Each structure stands twice: as C-alpha cells, then as structure tokens.
Amino acid sequence: MSRAGQLVGRDTWPHSMIHTIAIPPDAQMAPLMRGYAASVSARRRQMLLGAAIAILAFLLACIGAEVDPDKFWANLGNFGGYFYRISKLDTGSFAWTDPVEWYWGLGRWLRLLGETLLMAYLGTATGFVGGFLACFLCSRNLVARAWVRFTARRMLEFCRTVPDIVFAQIFVIAFGLGPLPGVLAIAIHTTGALGKLFSEVVESIDMKPVEGVAASGGTWVEQIRFGVLPQVLSNFASYGILRFEVNVRGATVLGFVGAGGIGEELLLAIRKFFYSDVSAILLLVAICVMVIDLASEHIRHRLLTIEGGKT
C-alpha cells in the first residue's frame, strides 16, 4: 500500500496521467496507516484464534472418532476396489455387458421400490395433515394463549428431533415387521418438521383478511379457512413436496431395521457380499431419487409461479 503511494506521489507524478490522486504528506498519512495496520492485525488475530480453535476441535474429534490414518490409507484402495467389485458379475464380466443377468431380480426390486415410494407418500401425507392441524396452534398471530403454543411447539420439536429410524425401530416392536411401522415413523417425523415450517409461514401472513372475517362474525375455524388458507396453501404444498423428496431418501433405509421397503434387500446384499446386486439396487435407488428430485423441483417451481400470478 505504502509502496504504491510513493510510486504515484513522488516519482511519476509530473509525467503521469493519474496525478489527480493526492497523496497526503507522511505526517498526515502515518496515523491513517497505523489505524489500517491495527485493524488488519486485529482481524488477523481473530482469524488465527478461530483457526486455532477449529484445529484443536478437529484434533480432539479425530481422537474421539478413533481416526486411524494408517488404516485409512492402507484400505483406501478398498474403496475403489469395492466399487470395482460391485460393478462385476459372478461370471467376472462387467455388469453392464449382461443387463439381464445383472437385473435378474428386477421385478422384485421394482415392487420393493414401489413399496418404498408408497411408504414415503403415506407417511408424508399423514404427516402433512398432522403438521397442518398443529401449525395453527403454535402460531403467535392466531393463538393468544401462550401455554397452548408452548405445548404444541415442544411436541413438534420432540417429533422432529428423534430420528425417524429410531421411531421405526420402536414401532417395529409394537406393530410387527413390515411397512406399517415405517409409515408411522415417517408420519411422526414429518409432522414435526412440517408443523414448524408451516407455523413460520402462518406467522408471516397478512392479517387483514383474517380481521375481515372476524369482523363479519366468522368463527376461529372460519377465520383460518377464509382468511389464512388462501394465503398459505401454495407454500404448504411446496414444503410438503420437498418433504416427500426427503422422505423417499429416508424410506430407502428404513428397511435396515425391518420397517419395509427396499432397504432390507440392500442391507442383505451388502452384508452377504452379493456384489452385483448391491450395484443394481443402488443404481435403481439413485435413479428413482433423482427422478423424484427433478419432478418435485418442477412442480414446486410451478406452484410458486401460481402464487406469484395471484398476488
């Protein structure tokens, strides 16, 4: 900085085009430069302190997570090797050279994948209704009583903090194996997640229509039906579809604990080293999730433009 200043100020000034930049004399510059240096070094100190804390936490975490670099480097080849192995059939040729052999269980896998999707749908739809009913109770602008809001919020928090697979494991014991516990687990988790998002949407609405309905004698339910719903419905739908996307991904692993879907088949294939089956199922799942992602993105975009057109 100071070097540039001298260059412009002294040596080149009479000949240069940029002589309009006035460099103050050193006596005036010194305090400014000192101030600049001080603020830079303060920021640098802050930065270094942050980095030191991060590195310390990183080292502690390495100990906590039993990181073993030697083992990691020694086995890293296995990672690539694993993907190499799952790309081969038992006959030794690459899987894609013989799709019929690779996807020998296609009918069964598609059925299981369909089951997974249905589970995600049922769970999301049930959770949507649950979150829908709960969200009005925890919105500040619709419920005046603080204890109602507090209870509703804590309930939702509990529903979304306990992971769905833990719910699934408990439900498997209560309801028996199969998709039913999976659907319930997704439904409860979704209720918690959507209820929170919905209530945030409801709290940000325009209150004038609600007051209008109240002024013409509408009950609380009528206020919500005619004052709130028209404002929030497209947003709700968009969040619901986004949640469906998340739940499809989650439903693919619920089978790990016996709660239905394609997860159980995948777990078996990985545990029993049916290599080509692993790649076949993984690919099916990945394609399915990606298609749903794209479709949901498309629909959500349209929903938001509908809303934009209305207002």
Partner 1 sequence: MSERAALVARFPAAFAPNWSARVQTIGVVGGAVGLYIFGLVTLDFDPSRIMRGFARLGDIFEMMLPPTPDSWSRGQLYFEALIQTLSIAFLGTLMAAILAVPLGFLAARNIVANWLLHILARRGLDTMRSVDTLIWALIWINVVGLGPFAGALAIMTADIAAFGKLMSEAIETADRKPVEGVAAAGGNRLEAIRFGIIPQILPIFASQVLYFFESNTRSATIIGIVGAGGIGLYLSEEIRVLEWQRAAFLILMVLVTVAIIDQISQRLRAAIMGNRGR
Residues that bind partner 1 (CB under 8 A): 54, 57-58, 60-68, 71-72, 75-76, 78-79, 82, 115, 118-119, 121-122, 125, 158, 161-163, 165-166, 169-171, 173-176, 178-181, 183, 249-250, 252-253, 256-257, 260, 266-267, 270-271, 282, 285-286, 289-290, 293
How far is the CA of 43 from the CAs of 36, 46, 48, 132, 189, in angstroms?
11, 5, 9, 47, 43
Instruction: Give min distance, CB of 287 to partner 1, in A.
Output: 8
Instruction: Mention every residue, 6+ apart, whose C-beta is less than 8 A from residue 222.
Output: 213
187 vs 230: CA distance, rounded Å: 25
* Residue 118 or 304 having the CB closest to partner 1: 118
Q: Count the neighbouring beta carbons within 10 Å of the beta carbon of residue 166.
A: 12
3-state secondary structure of 16: coil
* Residue 30 or 37 having the CB closest to partner 1: 37
As a dihedral over the C-alpha atoms of residue 226, residue 232, residue 238, residue 243, rounded to 10 degrees, the angle is: -100
- Tell me, what amino acid is at 217? G
Instruction: Give min distance, CB of 282 to partner 1, in A.
Output: 7
DSSP state of 8: I
Instruction: Give min distance, CB of 82 to partner 1, in A.
Output: 5
Q: Is the dihedral of CA 253, 200, 213, 152 positive or negative?
A: positive
Instruction: Give min distance, CB of 27 to partner 1, in A.
Output: 27
Instruction: Give min distance, CB of 144 to partner 1, in A.
Output: 26
R_g of the chain computed on alpha carbons: 30
Instruction: Give min distance, CB of 109 to partner 1, in A.
Output: 15
Q: Is the dihedral of CA 297, 303, 306, 311 positive or negative?
A: negative
DSSP track, 273-308 = T-HHHHHHHHHHHHHHHHHHHHHHHHHHHHHHHHHH
Instruction: Give min distance, CB of 121 to partner 1, in A.
Output: 6
* Residue 37 or 62 having the CB closest to partner 1: 62
